[in-house]
Amino acid sequence: CVYPSFVDIAGLGVEGTNIGVTSVAGGFPAAQTYLEVKMLEVAMAVENGADEIDVVISIGEFLNGEYDLMGNEIETLRKEIGDEITLKVILESGALKTAENIRAASVLAMYSGADFIKTSTGKEYPGASLEAAYVMCLCIKEYYEKTGRKVGFKPAGGVSTTDEALAYYTIVKHVLGEEWLDNEYFRIGASRLANNLLSDILGEETKFF
């Protein structure tokens, strides 16, 4: 997962493997730029070979109650990258604070074209929380029951231990069921987690990543 200007370099590095390239884009991590800039950035990332795009909602618009503007922006970026590219929408749940806000942002993002909803950037605000995860998974379930479209869930920001990862795994399994428990619909974004998981599995300190 890289910034847009590094997509082509990353693509060369993983060429011939089954590793995909994701690009954060659209003014990541604050999303505080012009829509035209966001459109160009996501389009260039895809043109350079990105398989997936991560964008952050316009938190200011959402908190101001400008839901149409926020949703229309996601729809615009969805159209800009096309249907073949996975779009992950980051809600920055730590900035939204309440369950009501997290629910509303989740529903808006999914109806605007998100393939994944993701808790946090891990940059400026509190990261993932079990409370936010539970609300988001309930929304995904409700959305699936109404539309038949499965949306993925990704907790990110501060998930670093095996126990923490298992807690999120348990929420997904309990709320959404076994069919969500693969990397097509459930991922954990945490740079420190992989080595800790491997260390616990192998029973010794491991620094593979």
pLDDT at 111: 98
Q: What are the tokens at 169?
A: 């795994």
Q: CB of 70 within 8 A of CB of 77?
A: no
54 flagged as catalytic: yes
- Among 8, 51, 54, 123, the active-site one is 54
Instruction: Enter the DSSP assignment of 153.
Output: E
pLDDT at 192: 84
pLDDT at 126: 85
pLDDT at 24: 97
- 2-27: per-residue pLDDT in tens? 999 999 999 999 999 999 999 999 99
- Paired with 152 in beta bridges are 116
- 42-89: per-residue pLDDT in tens? 999 999 999 999 999 999 999 999 999 999 999 999 999 999 999 999
Burial environment of residue 137 by CB neighbours within 10 A (0 to 12, 13 to 18, 19 or more) = buried
Over the range 8-21, which residues count as b (16 or more CB within 10 Å of their CB) and which as e? bebbeeeeeeeeeb
68 flagged as catalytic: no
Q: What are the tokens at 30?
A: 């604050």
pLDDT at 153: 98
88 flagged as catalytic: no
pLDDT at 65: 95
pTM of this prediction exceeds 0.85: yes
- 97-151: per-residue pLDDT in tens? 999 999 999 999 999 999 999 999 988 788 899 999 999 999 999 999 999 999 9
- 172-194: per-residue pLDDT in tens? 999 999 999 999 999 998 778 99
- 197-207: per-residue pLDDT in tens? 999 999 999 88
Instruction: Enter the DSSP assignment of 84.
Output: T
Q: What are the tokens at 124?
A: 């400026």
- Among 141, 150, 154, 207, the active-site one is 154
pLDDT at 125: 82
- Among 118, 141, 146, 207, the active-site one is 118
